[in-house]
Structure 1
Amino acid sequence: MTDTTQANPGAKLVGVVHEFDVAGLAGWMSEHLPDFSGTASSLTVEQFQGGQSNPTYRVSCADGKCYILRRKPPGKLLPSAHAIDREYRLMLALSGSAVPVPKMYGLCDDPEVIGTAFYLMEYISGRILWDPALPGMSLAERKAHYAEINRVIAALHSVDYQAVGLGDFGKSGQFVERQVARWAKNYQAASEAPRIPAMDQLIEWLPKHLPPGDETSIAHGDFRLDNLMWHPTEPRVLAVLDWELSTLGHPLSDFAYLMMAWRLPADVFRGMGGEDFTALGIPTEAEFIADYCRRTNRENIPGYEYYLIFNMFRIAAILHGVWLRGLQGNASSDNALIMGRKAGQIADMAWAFARQQGDN
């Protein structure tokens, strides 16, 4: 297979930015990991650079074994923010299912051990792919990778969340309705940022056009190509990563979030809109939907366009907030203003799709 590993700042290991008590970690590992008997001096800690809201580290032992540590960031936090216990619980519940997740080694909610709560999980070495057009691959390789993406998201939405002990992992029902209200409120609260006419039109349109029926499943919340760890040479997902936004939600909304990649151009937001999918060997939007329906025993996806429009609205609302922070000078990213202006582009596209639905 062609080597398609692409470097990205989000996956780069750097010196430790957010320090913690390594001796405390070594003591905890000695107590909770039967095959570990080292000390702080036998551990090498590196932090992953990037935008993770929960600092993430690779912990290497003298015997060659490696682990991933995720922790709450230091400082005063909102009570519900950075809930690493939810990430840990979710991945632990999915172990043994058809959804590939890392092995969990333990959760420590005592902030006295290293300075904040943390969990330790398996370190998996593989590929992170960043461009959904998969440059450098053959047609057959692209087809195989997208078949695997389809398999994994269908497997996630097919998990019986009650049977795996996640019945109380979130509210059940009316997920999209609640989300529309939440993101409309967030957008309207960011009143110091420029107004986007399409957002105001979507805020009026979305509540009036909710699709009939309702479903609940485990929803990843951010299921996209670069949150998958791939086998080094095979078109096989070794682990789904970054479960920070996971909850009980509507599977079709979760699916439509992934499908935005087929509509949004690469220069707008992590997409491949406008590409010649047949020439690339990538399933068309209709083909990918048909495969998902087959895997999840659906005839079709009623309201698919609505779920797509809602997800674009949600992303536009998020980017609008980034824009505001950029204007205020307190954004965490240097390109906050650039990203913020994309909110208008995405909102305009969403409103154009909404108008195509008629009955506006």
Structure 2
Amino acid sequence: MSVDARTYDPQVVDFRAVTAWMDDQGLGGGPVEHVTPISGGTQNVLLRFERGGRPYVLRRGPRHLRPRSNDTLRREMRVLAALAGTGVPHPRLIAACDDPGVLDGAVFYLMEPVDGFNITVDLPSQYVSDQAWRHRMGLKAADVLAALGAVDHQAVGLAGLGRPEGFLERQVPRWLAELESCGGGAELPGVERVANWLERNRPAVWTPGVMHGDYHLANVLFAYDGPRIAAVVDWEMCTIGDPLLDLGWLLATWPDPEDSAPVLLDLPDGLPSPGEITARYAARSSRDLSAIAWYTVLACFKLGIVLEGTHARALVGKAPKNVGERLHAVAVGLFARAGRHITRS
């Protein structure tokens, strides 16, 4: 539903301040029209609007900014600017405001709207009726991930975005500490076994590259006119690390016919198998996938702990009880999946 910019809550987005800043940037003219909130899986504010006949999407941190909200948005601004011309589909950055004084303490940026849909929310009729289209959706997800892993982070200006030195060595201790800090773990069977296996089998050699950090099918928008990815979204976790962890993350959230545990994402039938996803990535990447089971186990371990954190907050009334219980069941399933990968390896 469109909202009149004159009545939109100025404590969230003061459009008088935005239009003054846009005037300084030479972006459009006249009033802001057709303000439409965009829903998504993030607490950040996302608004579509028009000005001077051109559509824009504005993204800023949540209404009540957290200590690192602006740093997160600045990271996204930097990543989106760097990805221009790389061939990795992403929302095109129009302009960024990293001055928190413009919008009452919040930095923000403007990007072009993406004509696409989220597979976990909607599935257009052509995709419903054509299994081949759904199969190709999965293959395209692997293609784009391989393309991201091939980006030269230094050449595009992302050197210093993360700390690749010791990246894999930090993972298990960092996430065990996270689990301990939230008071979880007692109800997650297999934590110690998985952690010990990861430490014993860590790859000795790997090549740093750009990682999305949360790559799964809820964070890609597919095109309406055919099975291709219109844009990868939510780059707030992007870093320079080991891109094969992105592939492991995709596989950890992928439907598995051997797995009857509750899943994080509600995905349609007809997608490629996990083996097909791995083979597709391998065909389009020069990276060594001989240790892909290790990366998938690490992704299950890390994601399970992230979800258990929400469960821990729910137990003390800081998150909805039903959400916490559902995510706990998913976390238990992720550790069971990790255990099966370990057994097979």
Coarse TM-score class (shorter-chain normalised): 0.7 to 0.9
2:325: which partner in 1? 337
Equivalent residue number for residue 128 of structure 1? 118
Query: Does the CA-based 8 Å contact 2:151-2:210 persist in structure 1?
Result: yes
Which residue is equivalent to 1:306?
Answer: 294
Contact 2:12 2:63 in 1 (8 A): no
CA-CA distance at 1:131 after TM superposition: 7.6
Instruction: Tell me how far 1:88 sits from its aligned partner.
Output: 1.0
- The number of aligned residues is 335
1:27 aligns with 2:49: no
Residue 349 of structure 1 pairs with residue 337 of structure 2: yes
- Residues 129-182 of structure 1, C-alpha deviation per residue, up to 9 Å, x if partnerless? 128999614232123323322221111111111111111111123322212221
Match of 2:198 in 1: 206
Q: Which moved more, 1:77-86 or 1:17-26?
A: 77-86
Deviation of residue 218 (structure 1)? Answer: 0.3
Report the TM-score, using the length of structure 2 for normalisation: 0.87
C-alpha distance in 2, partners of 1:234/1:192? 43
Q: Does 1:219 align with 2:214?
A: no
The alpha carbon displacement at 1:293 in A equals: 1.2
- Residues 80, 176 of structure 1: CA spacing in aligned structure 2 closer, same or farther, 3 A cutoff? farther
Specify whether residues 198 and 168 from structure 1 end up closer, same or farther in structure 2 by C-alpha distance, changes over 3 A only: same
2:92 paired with 1:92: no
Helix, strand or coil for the counterpart of 2:190?
helix
Provide the C-alpha distance between the structure 1 equivalents of 2:308 and 2:264, rounded to a whole number of angstroms: 14
Which residue of 2 is the match for residue 169 of structure 1?
A: 161
Counterparts of 1:50 and 1:141, CA distance in 2: 24
Of stretches 118-127 and 129-138 in structure 1, the one that deviates more from structure 2 is 129-138
Gaps of 5+ in 2: none
Q: Label 1:333 to 1:119 Cα distance change in 2 as closer, same or farther (>3 A).
A: farther
**Offset of residue 333 of structure 1:** 8.2
Residues 62, 69 of structure 2: 8 Å contact kept: no
Match of 1:247, as an amino acid?
T
Q: Give 1:30 deviation, angstroms.
A: 1.4
Q: Which amino acid aligns with 2:291?
A: G
Identity of aligned residues (%): 29
Normalized against structure 1, the TM-score is what? 0.83
Q: 1:127 to 1:227 in 2, by over 3 A?
A: same
Distance 1:151 1:325, change over 3 A: same
1:48-97 residue CA offsets vs partner (Å, 9 max, x unmatched): 23431322111233x44221111122445224775111111111111011
Correspondence list, 1:49-68, <5 A: 49-61=39-51, 63-68=52-57
SS at match of 2:47: strand
The one-letter amino acid paired with 2:211 is A
The code of the aligned residue for 2:207 comes to E
Cα drift, residue 22 of structure 1: 1.2
Partner of 2:263: 268
CA distance in structure 2 between the aligned counterparts of 1:167 and 1:68, rounded to whole angstroms: 28
| Native 8 Å contact 2:184 2:308 kept in 1 | no
Q: How is 1:189-268 mapped onto 2 (pairs within 5 angstroms)?
A: 189-191=181-183, 194-260=186-252, 261-263=254-256, 267-268=262-263
Q: Residue in 2 aligned with 1:294?
A: 283
Provide the rounded CA distance (Å) in 2 between the counterparts of 1:131 and 1:346: 22
* Alignment equivalent of 2:66, drawn from 55, 58, 77: 77
CA distance in 1, matches of 2:233, 2:167: 22
